[in-house]
Amino acid sequence: MIRTYFLPISVVDGVEVVAGIEYMHRAVLGVEGAERKLIQNTTPEEDFFLSTLSSMSREATDDEKAELENMLLEFPLPLPYRDLAAEIDELRADINKVKKEKD
């Protein structure tokens, strides 16, 4: 569910910290007065905690959904990291297993 949250900030050692940062991922975060406006596709658990922390939460508007979609298109997830050495080791183990089965 794509929702919008208005979250408080605090300043720690001169750096702004947004409440609920541990629940944020692949989201749009903007300034809305003294709060931060978060647009995110959340799980029910994330929604529960972000709603608890926010001064207001609601379903995202069509414009906000489009903003999130544009961000996701502009910054796609990178391909997963491949451990080629581990893959080679697994293939060698499979080859050795087949060789033993033939003997």
Rounded mean pLDDT, 10-21: 95
The model's pTM = 0.73
How is the beta sheet containing 2-7 ordered, strand by strand? 28-32, 35-41, 2-7, 56-59
pLDDT in tens, 29-71: 999 999 999 999 999 999 999 999 999 999 999 999 999 999 9
Which pLDDT score is estimated for 32? Answer: 94
